[in-house]
Amino acid sequence: MVTPLTQITEDEKMFIGEIEKFAKSQIAPKVLEMDESEHMDPELIKQLFEMGLMGIEVPEEYGGAGCSFSLAILAIEALGRVDPSVSVLVDVQNTLVNNIFLNWGTEDQKKKYLPQLCSGKVGSYCLTEPNSGSDAFALATRAFDEGDHWRLEGKKIFITNAKEAEIFVVFANINPELGYKGITAFVVDRDTPGFSVGKKEVKLGIRASSTCEVICENLKIPKDSVVGEIGKGYKIAIETLNEGRIGIASQMLGLAQGALDGAMQYASEREQFGKAINGFQGIQFQLAEMGVMIETARLSVYNAARLKDAGLPFVKEAAIAKYWASEIAEKVASQALEIYGGYGFIKEFPAEKFYRDAKIGKLYEGTSNMQLQTIFKLMEAARS
């Protein structure tokens, strides 16, 4: 199997190496404090922009790095090994927000928003609502055509990056009678009157990553705020989330690798009965099994990214990668914590945070059950 690592240039491989160094030297010392304060360090966000991590796929003409989707996936993985909260911030920016403008934005929108998203402004993707989760198109947020402007009314929940973001892509329905064919995507600047970020959720894991309500109340935006075609928001959401699922899979892959890295190091240092615990066959087998699970997940993630870059069908592979990487992240994080013994249960060691962070992988950007449903449907379609 050809992996993205064989497709990227030597300069890109060096770039990934720099990300790994950055994660260890700049992110790692801040992980515990950011988790406990539930706050992303603004200086860290600034550094992410300076390194080019917030516009990896964006062409250079718009201020981005002009690299491949596979490189973005490798970057998300590298960050996830140290802090999945930072990883998902970069993931949403690249695989969801930037990709919406790249694939569906007008040339004017690309020229206006992509340079901002690459140089200093965080983006956010606003789809989920109180009664619209797995049933993503049961949107209640409305968009009203009022002649020279649109008016948006509604509330979104569980919106990643909302606290830090300045550019939002909001999905609303122009006519509920049309069902999903009325859904349209709009770009909204944070400082627009009628737009506000509401309650920030207190979460089990990825606590430094902000998850907030977004409220549109008598929000008036220009007619050229539509991203893509009117009524095509459902298509934008589906296709963007298909790519985003590979990003979440990569985040979970990085998390699992980070948990294993810590467990391997601890097992080599912790002594019981006169020798390091990695000298006991039981521990060796556990660590080996964790490594096997991670490698199978890595192959599925890289394969999905490879197919996407090649312009080949990848929806089933993206669902497989998202499902399996989320499964193994939870299993590996749990086993890693047990290898630490009692120390795994306290915050001084990284195992308990990886364990808490892992659970979200099965929930956001499509639950595990939704991934299985997608996989089954595509398997059935291929059979007929």
Catalytic site residues?
365
**DSSP label at residue 129:** B
Q: Is the dihedral of CA 367, 371, 376, 377 positive or negative?
A: positive
Helical pair 84-91 and 233-269, crossing angle rounded to 10 deg: 160
d(CA 70, CA 209): 23
| Alpha helices by DSSP H, 128-280 | 233-269
| 3-state DSSP of 253-306 | HHHHHHHHHHHHHHHHHCEECCEEHHHCHHHHHHHHHHHHHHHHHHHHHHHHHH
- Other C-beta atoms closer than 10 Å to the C-beta of 155 total 16
Q: Are strands 123-126 and 271-272 parallel, antiparallel or unpaired?
A: unpaired
Residue identified by tokens 């309650």 is 199
Question: Residues 6 or more apart from 201 whose CB is under 8 A from it?
Answer: 158, 211, 212
| Residue from 216, 225, 211, 168 nearest 196 by CA | 216
Alpha helices (runs of H) in 92-128, residue ranges in sequence order: 99-104, 107-119
Dist. CA 207–CA 201, nearest whole Å: 9
- Calpha distance 187→194 (Å, rounded): 14
Amino acid identity of 215? I
Q: 216: which strand partners? A: 154, 195
Cross-strand pairs, 183: 173
Question: Could you tell me if 376 and 317 are in contact, meaning their C-beta atoms sit under 8 angstroms apart?
Answer: no
209: helix, strand or coil: coil
CB 54 within 8 A of CB 40: no
